[in-house]
Structure 1
Amino acid sequence: MLQGDLFGHVCAPAVPQGFDYWPDVLSEAEQTKLVEQLQRLDFRPYEHMGYQGFRRIAAFGRRYDLERRRLETAEPWPDFLKALLACLAGRLSLDEGAFVQALVNEYAPGAGIGWHRDRPVYEDIVGVSLLAPCVMRLRRKQAAQWRRAGAALEPGSVYRLSGEAREAWEHSIPAMTALRYSITFRTLAGGAN
């Protein structure tokens, strides 16, 4: 049964179908080494339709150009991100060859990401959380109300959005109180190139 909160929002007791979560995938030593490599990347401010966000990003492989509304080639994947994806593919039974994009987000204190669904050119999304924990908020419109859920993302954990969680639910990250990195790997939807 779904229960309403004080503001009339419908709260889901569990995450939606298609949200998978694996805690403690990366050891503390693996996380430390990975963060050291991330801190050497050339980050740029995130921009969306003329708005500059607080978080900074580094994109590799493919990226979606909002102005041109198409996929474009980005910088080649650094070797350490290729190695990370290979490690995750082995540990979590993922199809390593299907992933075409790696996006690194740097969330300084005060940075978050608003409600959104990833662009339809992408299909499955796999994310790695580093340094600070956060809550991924999830919501789906149902009639005049929102169905809501939340998932704690701990450092060293991995999540996947696919199917219903990817296509029908929006997600967001509230403003961080401590530095956090996330690495997002994406596959392409059928027909996208």
Structure 2
Amino acid sequence: MTEQLALFADNSSASSAPEGLRYVADFISSEVERELIARITALPLQPFQFGQYQGKRRVASFGFRYDYTERRLREADSMPDWLGPVIEQVEAFGGPQTEIAQVLCTEYDTGVGIGWHRDKPQFDRILGLSLGSPCKFRFRRPAGDKWERFTLEAQPRSIYLLSGAARQVWEHSIPAVEAPRYSITLRTMRN
């Protein structure tokens, strides 16, 4: 498993990558990826609720979920046993004192993406496994009256970590995917 920031779009280079972004291709095997996709598709996935609006992606939360109507974290179902080995591997990747408290499993059908955002401030570091198909993982931050931009081609079976400026300053989004994609987003809590 080699750590890399490669395959950039928009003529990006590793030097322009957001500080605090870590990316590793081939973090899990094809076999594990197939098993995880099967587990996610077997979940009671629900359309993403953003207040009164319903997103096109479907999700299931564990540990905690963010309630957009009440604007606060709510307890969610406990972590299923099958997530245990994944969490263990991701915590090792995250380093000492990485303790996953929230997991979001997401299904992106063809043509579905996610708009510009930063994860809620109750969460600290964000780690994500990309499954199924590649996606353009886009970043932007204000730079005067323009945006500084960076795009990472996130490959299937890869993992990313957002901390520091990549987590706190940069927004991220994923444009509509060209084939079905799944992700497992794992979050630590802010102290």
Would the TM-score normalized by the shorter structure come out above 0.5? yes
Alignment-derived partner of residue 134 in structure 2 = 133
Alignment-derived partner of residue 122 in structure 1 = 123
Query: Is 1:16 equivalent to 2:14 in the alignment?
Result: no
Give, in whole Å, the separation in 2 of the partners of 1:28 and 1:96.
28
Change in 2 beyond 3 A, CA 1:136/1:77? same
Q: What amino acid maps onto 1:178 in structure 2? A: A
Give, in whole Å, the separation in 1 of the partners of 2:97 and 2:25.
20
Change in 2 beyond 3 A, CA 1:139/1:46? same
TM-score under structure 1 length normalisation: 0.88
Could you list the structure 1 runs, at least 4 aligned residues long, displaced by more than 2 angstroms after superposition: 10-14, 87-90, 93-97
C-alpha displacement of 1:66: 1.6
Change in 2 beyond 3 A, CA 1:142/1:97? closer
Alignment-derived partner of residue 72 in structure 2 = 70
Q: Is contact 1:11–1:148 with CA below 8 Å preserved after alignment? A: no
Give, in whole Å, the separation in 1 of the partners of 2:49 and 2:109.
16
Alignment-derived partner of residue 7 in structure 1 = none
C-alpha displacement of 1:53: 1.1
Task: Deviation per CA, 1:129-179: give whole Å up to 9, x if none.
Answer: 001000100000121110000111101000000010000000000001111
C-alpha displacement of 1:49: 2.4
TM-score under structure 2 length normalisation: 0.89
Change in 2 beyond 3 A, CA 1:109/1:80? same
C-alpha displacement of 1:102: 0.3
Percent identical residues: 41
Q: What amino acid maps onto 1:100 in structure 2? A: A
* Correspondences of 1:37-186 after superposition (within 5 Å): 37-90=39-92, 92-95=93-96, 98-186=99-187
What SS class does the counterpart of residue 175 from structure 1 fall into? Answer: coil
C-alpha displacement of 1:63: 1.2
What SS class does the counterpart of residue 132 from structure 1 fall into? Answer: coil
What SS class does the counterpart of residue 99 from structure 1 fall into? Answer: coil
Q: Is contact 2:91–2:100 with CA below 8 Å preserved after alignment? A: no
Change in 2 beyond 3 A, CA 1:167/1:179? same
Rg: which structure is higher?
1
Structure 2 residues not aligned, in runs of 5+ = 1-9
Alignment-derived partner of residue 3 in structure 2 = none
Give, in whole Å, the separation in 2 of the partners of 1:119 and 1:144.
25
Structure 1 residues not aligned, in runs of 5+ = 1-9
What SS class does the counterpart of residue 57 from structure 2 fall into? Answer: strand
RMSD: 1.7
Task: Deviation per CA, 1:4-58: give whole Å up to 9, x if none.
Answer: xxxxxx9864210000001101011111111111111110001112121110000
How many residue pairs end up in the alignment?
180
